[in-house]
């Protein structure tokens, strides 16, 4: 699992910082999460192949989280894309994007499929044989979701020496990997545990931006491997939290600690501060395993 941060700063783009966008690589998928201005430039800088992106998840309809999407949709057309593109986001995102395409007479030459979200409770919005994606309802000034990405449990791994010992035919290998016991010709039952090893523990990633402090998300994200949580402010600006419905670094750390996550990644920083290290310093007073997102930074599990 790899997380590539394309942008992680709040509000407006600057010469050295970009608004929210990131790519999650998980089980051979490349999922684009949010699409602030400059996303496609950042994709090129990070050498991420446009053609591998088939699913885009938009948290909410504030400009610093989706104003890069119309340009990206248009660029896919110019690149000759013919595969389906699926966009998951709040109700209204289809109208916003298709209006621009209509006014510019630049309809895509590939299928553009919108999945508009309205639910106020978690819902499963994507599933295949390897991965699931659920919404995480957040509390912001407009309808907003985070996203929970989870690998499915993989099939069990063959113990080649044990299989050879019992002279088991290859025709039964898939059943063994699926967890089934094997009955030999003489009637002896070989338990699956003797023939296989446990699969690698499935990984999980929770993206939570933008939101005020919302402890009721904890049960859904309990024990995730990595949590990305917005930390727009430091505790010294707590007076701005209620008005803007954002979080402080301390509040993000409280969520991480309560949910027992593996690693907390902070992001969505206000640019009023001289150094993002201040966010880490504040969060680590509450929770030890803290990382700082930054444009171009990559996290690998």
Domain range enclosing 288: 2-154+200-300
For residues 184 and 132, state if they share a domain. Answer: no
Closest alpha carbon to 252 in 243, 244, 242, 263:
263
What's the pTM? 0.92
**Burial environment of residue 110 by CB neighbours within 10 A (0 to 12, 13 to 18, 19 or more):** middle
How many independent structural domains does the chain possess?
2
* Domain finish residue from 165, 181, 197: 197
CATH of the domain at 287: 3.60.15.10
| Closest to 224 in 3D by CA, of 268, 249, 260, 181 | 260
Q: List the beta bridge partners of residue 89.
A: 116
Catalytic residue among 28, 64, 216, 294: 64
Tokens (6 digits) for 181: 């016991």
Q: pLDDT at position 301, please? A: 87
Indicate if 105 belongs to the active site.
no
CA gap 136, 138 in Å, rounded = 6
Q: Which residues contact 174 (CB under 8 A, 6 or more apart)?
A: none
Q: Are residues 254 and 211 in the same domain?
A: yes
Residue closest to 267 by CA, chosen among 217, 232, 225, 300: 232
Same domain, 204 and 193: no
Return the pLDDT at 154: 87
Binding-site residues for Zn(2+) sit at 60, 62, 64-65, 140, 210, 268
Could you tell me if 268 and 232 are in contact, meaning their C-beta atoms sit under 8 angstroms apart?
Answer: yes
**First-last CA distance in the chain:** 5
Per-residue pLDDT of the chain (301 residues; tens, 9 = 90+): 999 999 999 999 999 999 999 999 999 999 999 999 999 999 999 999 999 999 999 999 999 999 999 999 999 999 999 999 999 999 999 999 999 999 999 899 999 999 999 999 999 999 999 999 999 999 999 999 999 999 999 889 999 999 999 989 999 899 999 999 999 888 899 999 999 999 889 999 999 999 999 999 999 999 999 999 999 999 999 999 999 999 999 999 999 999 999 999 999 999 999 999 999 999 999 999 999 999 999 999 8
Structural contact between residues 172 and 225, judged by C-beta atoms closer than 8 angstroms: no
SS3 category, 163:
helix
Q: Is there a contact between 264 and 217 (Cβ–Cβ < 8 Å)?
A: no
Are 287 and 233 contained in the same domain?
A: yes
Contact 73, 58 (CB under 8 A): no
218 and 188 in one domain?
no
CB 36 within 8 A of CB 64: yes
184 and 209 together in one domain: no
Binding residues: 60, 62, 64-65, 140, 210, 268
- Residues 295, 173, single domain; the answer is no
Residue of 235, 299, 245, 243 whose CA lies nearest to 273? 235
Cα gap 241→264, rounded to integer Å: 20
């Amino acid at each position: 699992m790899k997380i590539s941060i394309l942008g992680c700063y709040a509000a407006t783009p600057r010469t050295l910082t970009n608004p929210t966008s990131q790519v999650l690589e998980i089980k051979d998928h490349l999922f684009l999460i949010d699409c602030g201005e400059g996303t496609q430039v950042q994709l090129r800088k990070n050498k991420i192949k446009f053609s591998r992106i088939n699913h885009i998840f938009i948290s909410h309809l504030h400009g610093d989280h989706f104003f890069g999407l119309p340009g990206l949709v248009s660029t896919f057309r110019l690149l000759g894309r013919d595969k389906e593109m699926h966009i998951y986001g709040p109700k209204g995102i289809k109208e916003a994007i298709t209006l621009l395409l209509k006014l510019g007479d630049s309809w895509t030459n590939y299928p553009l499929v919108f999945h508009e979200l309205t639910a106020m409770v978690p819902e499963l919005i994507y599933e295949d044989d390897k991965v699931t994606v659920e919404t995480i309802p957040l509390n912001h000034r407009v309808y907003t979701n985070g996203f929970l990405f989870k690998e499915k449990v993989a099939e069990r791994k063959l113990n080649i020496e044990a299989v050879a010992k019992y002279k088991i035919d290859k025709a039964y290998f898939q059943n063994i990997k699926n967890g089934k016991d094997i009955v030999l010709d003489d009637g002896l039952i070989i338990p699956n545990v003797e023939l296989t090893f446990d699969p690698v523990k499935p990984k999980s990633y929770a993206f939570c931006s933008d939101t005020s402090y919302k402890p009721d998300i904890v049960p859904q994200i309990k024990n995730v491997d990595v949590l990305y949580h917005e930390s727009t402010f430091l505790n010294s600006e707590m007076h701005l939290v209620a008005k803007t419905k954002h979080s402080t670094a301390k509040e993000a750390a409280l969520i991480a600690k309560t949910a027992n996550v593996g690693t907390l990644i902070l992001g969505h920083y206000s640019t009023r501060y001289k150094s993002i290290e201040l966010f880490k310093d504040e969060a680590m007073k509450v929770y030890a395993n803290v990382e700082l997102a930054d444009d171009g930074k990559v996290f690998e599990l």
